[in-house]
Amino acid sequence: MKTAEQYKKLTISEFTKAAKVYETDQAGIYKMCKDDYPYIEEELSHIEYQDLLDCGCGTGPMISLLYEKDSSKHYVGLDLTPKMIEVAQNKNLEGTEWIVGDCENLPFEDDSFDVIICTNSFHHYPNPQLFFENVKRVLRPGGRLILQDYTAPAPILWLMNHTEMPLANLIGHGDVRAYSMSQIREFCDNCELTIEKIEAAKKFRMHLVAKLEATTI
């Protein structure tokens, strides 16, 4: 079992190599990420927001799509890999911030965002509950987390976590773990995020929308 630091070093190494091709036709396995963008866009279309954080933003393809439709909002992309952020910064999207940082230790003040999105990044986090706790901290009351990642029925999930991901580590990938629906519910419950939607979709995808309820006095 690798340490959190070892997993993060693998992730940085993996995506430093991938940064140049991440949004091209030569992206290989990363091309599948595009399948999930419409889901994120659809969920956001039902939410009133101004400040959006993309956790694990990569080179910024999701923010680029959102910016093209509405450049008046404040978008922030956060990624652990400096090279990914460098490529994103070169897009020169006015008013958009690109920050190198750790999604388990979000470098933002409390109550900073109306919505946080996280697409195909969560399975790289060695300490998933820390991510959820940070989400709760930086979301404003009434804000939402939209999370998309991998899940599967129990036998397949076991194979993913005990065979597929360790093999990926051997070839230099920073994959840590995929989670069951019940585990995702537990992460939310532990930090008092209210689940509005959670579903298993095609291609072993998991979709979550969770809300930080406004406190009442």
pLDDT beyond 60 at 5? yes
pLDDT beyond 90 at 43? yes
Q: Tell me the mean pLDDT in the region 151-164.
A: 93
pLDDT beyond 60 at 217? no
Q: Tell me the mean pLDDT in the region 184-204.
A: 94
Q: What is the pLDDT of residue 37?
A: 85
pLDDT beyond 90 at 22? no
CA distance 43 to 199: 13
* Alpha helical stretches, state H, 31-159: 37-44, 61-69, 82-89, 128-138, 154-159
pLDDT beyond 80 at 175? yes
Q: Tokens standing for 4?
A: 């959190």
Considering the chain, what is the average pLDDT of its residues? 93
pLDDT beyond 70 at 116? yes
Whose CA is closest to 147, among 164, 174, 123? 123
pLDDT beyond 70 at 32? no
Whose CA is closest to 144, among 5, 4, 48, 8? 48
Q: What is the pLDDT of residue 27?
A: 67
Q: What is the pLDDT of residue 31?
A: 67
Q: pTM here?
A: 0.95
Residue 176's φ and ψ, nearest 5 degrees, are -110, -60
- Confidence band for 75, pLDDT divided at 50, 70 and 90: very high
Q: Tell me the mean pLDDT in the region 188-205.
A: 94
Q: What is the pLDDT of residue 63?
A: 96
pLDDT beyond 80 at 29? no
- Confidence band for 19, pLDDT divided at 50, 70 and 90: confident
Q: What is the pLDDT of residue 79?
A: 98
